[in-house]
Structure 1
Amino acid sequence: MKGKVIFDKDYIISKIDNRIYGSFIENLGRCIYGGIYDPEDPTADENGFRRDVIQLVKELNVPMVRLPGGNFIATYVWEDGVGPRENRPRKPDLAWKCIETNQVGTNEYMDWLNEIGAEAMMTVNMGTRSILDALNLLDYCNRDSGTHYSDLRISHGYKKPHNIKTWAIGNELDGDWQVGQKTPFEYARLARETAKAMKLLDGSIEIVAAGSAGQESPTFGEWEQTLIQQAHPYIDYISLHQYYLNLEKDTANFLAKTLAFDEYIQSIGNLIDYMKVKTQSSQDIHISLDEWNVWYHNRQQDHETIRDRGKDWPIAPAILEEPYNFEDALVAGAMLIALIRNCDRVKIAAYAQLVNVLAPIMTDKNGKVWKNTIFYPIYYASKYGRGTALRGIIHCDKYDSRDFSDVPYLDSVAVISNDETELTIFAINKSLNENMVVNCDLRSFGRVEMTSHIALENNDVYDINSLEHPDKVVPKSKPLTQNLNEIVISPLSWNMLRFNIA
């Protein structure tokens, strides 16, 4: 099978906002307790954070973390998570039917983010709380001193403000699983007034307003249109969420779902443009795709477990821990390609989540960690996908799957480094069994030299990494060639090709 890609230095999509390589943590399962935080673990530092997890998070070079939820946020009282730990109350979490100990709260989150070198997207509770509660948290976090809440932070040992610049107003509030579910108009007006008040208190912040829970939501489209019409002067981003499933074990169809991911992003981008004209607004609104991933292996079982719990709710149970396989990593890699390709629209993104729950990083007791298969495309995209995205012209054969037609076998995007000395191409061959010989037309760059070809490939699409076998699915270095007319890409593989530009 043959393919061709043409990348020209003038086919610019946009400069990439590094925040598209962000992640998400939530007080859910073992993400926080037993994940990033475990004072009893042998790797724990003086603050109780696992050093082994910190090391792997630093490898991923995560620029922004959305927290602390998620569905959890709808009943969260932030005041419960500050001050002396011994005084913090245990509270029921209605989202996941667990007991929240509040041992990790606002200041601990910020300590951890400072350790990994990331900034926060702080989410405020719009399910069961008010505008005033959001203002109080903003005042606690961002004001130097001189008010009740800023002085309260100082009394908790944090003289310097946290200066959080990105704030999210609620989460998936159209979902019937949410405590405090709202209609499109109810949320749009609440988002407007909350954003307006928060920007009066701190005019330097950016606001992420919650979009609908996904394309399948009954209010999808109407929700976003109403939100923009009501709140456009005060919001900077609309949040999108998307997870993909493969319950049928149909690899070809699973890989084709990234076409729908592109369409999802573009449909909201088109709606933003339409509403900007309709409202005669000069306000640019971008997309924060702050939950994306594969999620299906244990999804039904976990939801049944949560639904059937009696009154004995656990603390930090092992739920939503996906054993990601090789084909899941291919889909995650394809979703990253789509995010880069749409970086003119998507300025923030967050794979969900970071540790243990729907995560690239898994932990066990006694300082044991391993990398889930999806770790690798995230790692390479985050490390080498920074700069300016270039749109490719792609010629290749196409296939039809159960739900999609005309699916290109080759999916690709390119990134030129900020200093314009390196070109990185990310590419996937979606063919189940045929090599693809790719002609890479890079003539506009002058003389280029291939310096690296990394491929994530495997003989069994269902292979997973585990504590016992952590390296079953790992990337490989491929032989280099300077013949750009015949770059061989294996079937069912995610690839990174890097070039020096003379």
Structure 2
Amino acid sequence: MRQASVLMDRDFAIGHTDPRLFGAFVEHLGRCVYGGIFEPGHPTADEKGFRGDVLELVKELGPTIMRYPGGNFVSGYNWEDGVGPVEQRPVRLDLAWFSTEPNTFGTNEFMDWCRAAQVEPMLAVNLGTRGGDAARNLVEYCNHPGGTYWSDLRRQHGWEQPHGIKFWCLGNEMDGPWQMEYKTATQYGLVAKEAAKMMRWIDPTIELAACGSSGRNMPTFGRWEDEVLEHTFEHAEYISLHTYLNNYAQDTKAFLACPDLMDQFIEEVVAVADGVAARRRSNRRIMLSFDEWNVWYRTRRNRKDRVKEGWPVAPPILEEIYTMEDALAFGGACISLLNHADRVKSACLAQLVNVIAPIMTETGGPAWRQTIFHPFAQMSRLGRGKVLRTQVTSDTYEATYYDPRGAQDLYFPIPAVPYLKVAAVADEQSGGLSLFLLNRDLDQELDVSIDARGFASLAVREALELRHDDLRAANSSARPDHVAPAPLAGVRVEGGRIRATLKPASWNVISLAP
């Protein structure tokens, strides 16, 4: 059995988790909206067409903020198409996913759904085929109380009170050639600055996120952030970053190591942002919005998995089926987000339903939890509070992560991967402590000794493990709980000292009460 030790102190903190760290993402893509959150006629649907079974699972999952309407979709979206009488809304071809968009569901329906789901909305504006004028009109439509053309149009459409949307994304992945009217960093920076300026003139209380790199493997990474922030530093509170973890190489050890590259990505973006601040002699700090992250690779590279020919409405695309192995890598990403709570203040799991999602549905049928549902739900429920610095002593291994970029293959060496990856979150109100522990050893149990200094007396409130003998095991409508949390036995506590034995290839959560 391997040994690992963790040292922490309740007074030595990384930072506090922002409620927005536990967000998710709804895009007009595949069956995420139509047949996902919105399915009039479904046995559980309410009068607005919102699936009640999905809403119940969303509340259990616990997202706090929801990004909408894209994603790639937003770069060709005319927001005016999705408001007003449904029967008068135009049907459009969506060039992002080569689908037909009926516009039955739009901004106001999304706001009603957010209220039903009890989540904060995050809206993205189209800075691809459109610009600052359409963006400021959307802010006026959503947030201005009345007495102007756009705000009175909202009231005429049946939403008397302003929506009061606070968080806005200035476009999506504008560094990507796959994006409609993608731009150089200078072109995007200029557009984003002018859009931000006008949007904030309409509503000075909003917060704005500028587009960072759509991946650490982008050839412009680093230079892009530097140039974009040269233009938007005084206008945006956040810079975005996106990551999708993969196992193209079918190398489980490297796959479970790749969240450590996510740590590095975050720290590199922070360094670039602070470099821009240093050139200005500014104390202002740009925060990070990790507004797309997940495991995604099986349905990513082949066109038949991304596009259904004939321009269908809501085709079944990007419906990644997640395994136990995926849940382990996903849990590592959760730990990475928690351990950067000082600068990552917003994050969105991409996406929510059916499309690379923790929740799956059958049209007219049931909804169920995918394997990745469980680490996210536990992080959202138990990860609120002060993230503590941890000193981990653990055996390590070496890995090489494969991350393709078009025709160029990229290999990232990871020289010293600790078998134990951990995050610790203190609840300052209750005096409790939550531990998130990933054992990346595929063969051996891991005996973990934790010295939680400053916690005089703790008792186990809850201890759970997520594991399966078959790393390819997945959930389905027929077997919705095939992979599910089970009690973690044998956790011992004496004062502030905790001992636990973690099974090979396992995700573990321990909640301790004073």
Shared fold, TM over 0.5: yes
> Partners in 2 of 1:485 and 1:71 — Cα distance?
46
- Which residue number in structure 2 is paired with residue 164 of structure 1? 165
Equivalences for 1:74-93 in 2 at 5 Å? 74-93=75-94
- Which residue number in structure 2 is paired with residue 465 of structure 1? 475
The yes-or-no answer on 1:364 pairing with 2:328 is: no
Structure 1 residues 221-247: Cα deviation after superposition (integer angstroms, max 9, x where no partner): 111000111111111000100001102
AA of the residue aligned to 2:26: I
Structure 1 residues 244-290: Cα deviation after superposition (integer angstroms, max 9, x where no partner): 11022211010011111000000001111111011233432100000
Cα offset for 1:485?
5.6
- Which residue number in structure 1 is paired with residue 437 of structure 2? 427
Q: Which runs of 5+ in 2 are unaligned?
A: 401-412
The yes-or-no answer on 1:489 pairing with 2:502 is: yes
Cα offset for 1:305?
5.2
Cα offset for 1:307?
5.9
Structure 1 residues 64-107: Cα deviation after superposition (integer angstroms, max 9, x where no partner): 00000000001100000001100011000000000000000010
The yes-or-no answer on 1:413 pairing with 2:423 is: yes
Cα offset for 1:61?
1.7
Distance 1:308 1:157, change over 3 A: closer
The yes-or-no answer on 1:219 pairing with 2:220 is: yes
Q: TM-score, normalized by length of structure 2?
A: 0.95
The yes-or-no answer on 1:248 pairing with 2:219 is: no
AA of the residue aligned to 1:493: S
Cα offset for 1:410?
0.5
C-alpha contact 1:172 1:213 (8 A) present in aligned 2:
yes
SS in 2 for 1:74: helix
> Partners in 1 of 2:468 and 2:499 — Cα distance?
22
The yes-or-no answer on 1:318 pairing with 2:328 is: no
AA of the residue aligned to 1:359: A
- Which residue number in structure 2 is paired with residue 345 of structure 1? 343
Distance 1:394 1:315, change over 3 A: same
- Which residue number in structure 2 is paired with residue 111 of structure 1? 112
After superposing the two structures, state which structure 1 stretch, 282-291 or 345-354, moved more.
Answer: 282-291
> Partners in 1 of 2:297 and 2:343 — Cα distance?
27
C-alpha contact 1:29 1:317 (8 A) present in aligned 2:
yes
- Which residue number in structure 1 is paired with residue 54 of structure 2? 53
C-alpha contact 2:90 2:102 (8 A) present in aligned 1:
yes
> Partners in 1 of 2:119 and 2:11 — Cα distance?
32
C-alpha contact 2:10 2:453 (8 A) present in aligned 1:
no
- Which residue number in structure 1 is paired with residue 461 of structure 2? 451
Equivalences for 1:225-240 in 2 at 5 Å? 225-240=226-241
Structure 1 residues 40-78: Cα deviation after superposition (integer angstroms, max 9, x where no partner): 211110000000000000111211000000000011000
> Partners in 1 of 2:430 and 2:275 — Cα distance?
35
Distance 1:53 1:308, change over 3 A: closer
Cα offset for 1:167?
0.7
After superposing the two structures, state which structure 1 stretch, 151-160 or 415-424, moved more.
Answer: 415-424
- Which residue number in structure 1 is paired with residue 95 of structure 2? 94
> Partners in 2 of 1:203 and 1:299 — Cα distance?
39
C-alpha contact 2:308 2:317 (8 A) present in aligned 1:
no
Distance 1:416 1:486, change over 3 A: closer
C-alpha contact 1:169 1:209 (8 A) present in aligned 2:
yes
The yes-or-no answer on 1:136 pairing with 2:137 is: yes
Given candidates 325, 328, 348, the residue that maps to 1:327 is: 325
Equivalences for 1:472-483 in 2 at 5 Å? 472-479=482-489, 480-482=491-493
Equivalences for 1:135-154 in 2 at 5 Å? 135-154=136-155
The yes-or-no answer on 1:196 pairing with 2:197 is: yes
Given candidates 357, 366, 373, the residue that maps to 1:375 is: 373
C-alpha contact 1:110 1:162 (8 A) present in aligned 2:
yes
- Which residue number in structure 1 is paired with residue 391 of structure 2? 393
AA of the residue aligned to 1:429: N
AA of the residue aligned to 1:70: G
- Which residue number in structure 1 is paired with residue 404 of structure 2? none
C-alpha contact 2:425 2:433 (8 A) present in aligned 1:
yes
The yes-or-no answer on 1:273 pairing with 2:274 is: yes
SS in 2 for 1:300: coil
Cα offset for 1:157?
0.5
> Partners in 1 of 2:180 and 2:480 — Cα distance?
39
Structure 1 residues 1-53: Cα deviation after superposition (integer angstroms, max 9, x where no partner): 10101121011011110111100010000000000000021111000000000
- Which residue number in structure 1 is paired with residue 290 of structure 2? 289
The alignment's C-alpha RMSD in Å is: 1.2
> Partners in 2 of 1:234 and 1:159 — Cα distance?
30
Distance 1:390 1:306, change over 3 A: closer
Structure 1 residues 374-404: Cα deviation after superposition (integer angstroms, max 9, x where no partner): 0000000000100111011101101112332
C-alpha contact 2:82 2:107 (8 A) present in aligned 1:
yes
C-alpha contact 1:52 1:367 (8 A) present in aligned 2:
no
Structure 1 residues 311-348: Cα deviation after superposition (integer angstroms, max 9, x where no partner): x2100000000000001001111101000000111000
C-alpha contact 1:297 1:322 (8 A) present in aligned 2:
yes
> Partners in 1 of 2:279 and 2:3 — Cα distance?
45
- Which residue number in structure 1 is paired with residue 403 of structure 2? none
> Partners in 2 of 1:308 and 1:2 — Cα distance?
50
